[in-house]
């Protein structure tokens, strides 16, 4: 009897200690190569490319303009061209094939699975690219591990504030309608 108790104690310790030792990785949720992300508080669901090669997260912002430190832009047509206004928190200099470029950085809440993550997102016109949102390492690092064999693993399930759900926040200056 004593021996079995000792044995069970050993396995109990193993059970507690092993996952705790690997806690850094264990707490993270697995996501796939593409994931659905809910943009809060706007409640827009976007299909995001999960990109460990990208330092930061970026969002396809059409008709982007910055006035008095507020970025105003439109999401692509498939998101009903929703207009978003959000304060600029910094600027990011990006080197690309075309040369140097400065992009406004804003803060947004991203809901991935059951997690609501406040993240810095840089804005640029990505009309050439398939995915409207690129999840970079700034979001992935602490929260997720990526398995590219899979896709749409987590369903975004954060509560959406009712008032702003599927509604466009009022834009004081109406944006030009794209052709």
Partner 1 sequence: MKWSRLFPAVFFLIGLAHPFLLPAGEKVVIGEIEDVLLLPWKIRIPARIDTGAALSSLDARDLRVEGGFAHFKLSQKLGGTPLRLPVIDWLDIRSAEASERRPIVEIDLCIGSRKVRTRVNLNDRSKVRYPLLIGRNTLREHFIVDCLQERCAPPSCEEASSP
CB closer to partner 1 out of 99 and 170: 99
- How many residues touch partner 1 under the rule CB under 8 A: the total is 38
Of 21, 23, 128, 177, the one binding partner 1 (CB under 8 A) is 128
List the interface residues with partner 1, window 92-121 (CB under 8 A).
97-98
**88 belongs to the binding site for partner 1 (CB under 8 A):** no
| 136 contacts: CB under 8 Å, gap ≥ 6 | 51, 54, 55, 56, 57, 58
d(CA 32, CA 36): 10
Nearest to 123 by CA among 106, 110, 140, 137: 106
Under 8 Å between Cβ of 169 and 84: yes
CB closer to partner 1 out of 14 and 171: 14
CB closer to partner 1 out of 33 and 175: 33
Give the x-and-dash track for 4-43 against partner 1 (CB under 8 A): xx-xxxxxx-xx--xx----xxx-x-x--x----------
d(CA 124, CA 69): 16
Cα torsion angle, 26, 146, 43, 172, sign: positive
List the interface residues with partner 1, window 54-83 (CB under 8 A).
54
Structure tokens at 157: 């399930």
Give the x-and-dash track for 133-162 against partner 1 (CB under 8 A): -x--x--xxx-xxxxxx-------------
- Write down the least CB distance from residue 143 to partner 1, Å: 9
Give whole-number Cα distances, 44 to 8, 47, 78, 84, 161, in Å: 50, 10, 11, 11, 12
Instruction: Provide the binding-site residues for partner 1, judged by CB under 8 A.
Output: 4-5, 7-12, 14-15, 18-19, 24-26, 28, 30, 33, 49-54, 97-98, 128, 134, 137, 140-142, 144-149
């Amino acid at each position: 009897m004593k021996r079995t108790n000792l044995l069970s104690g050993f396995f109990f310790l193993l059970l507690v200690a092993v996952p705790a030792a690997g806690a850094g990785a264990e707490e993270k949720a697995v996501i796939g190569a593409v994931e659905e992300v809910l943009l809060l508080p706007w409640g827009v669901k976007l299909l995001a490319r999960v990109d460990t090669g990208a330092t930061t997260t970026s969002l396809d912002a059409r008709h982007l303009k910055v006035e008095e430190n507020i970025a105003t832009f439109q999401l692509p047509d498939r998101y009903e061209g929703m207009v978003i206004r959000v304060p600029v928190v910094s600027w990011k200099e990006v080197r690309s094939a075309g040369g140097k470029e400065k992009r406004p950085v804003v803060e947004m809440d991203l809901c991935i699975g059951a997690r609501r993550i406040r993240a810095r997102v840089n804005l640029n016109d990505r009309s050439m690219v398939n995915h409207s949102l690129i999840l970079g390492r700034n979001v992935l690092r602490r929260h997720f591990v990526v398995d590219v064999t899979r896709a749409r693993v987590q369903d975004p399930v954060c509560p959406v504030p009712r008032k702003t759900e599927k509604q466009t926040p009022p834009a004081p200056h109406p944006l030009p309608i794209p052709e």
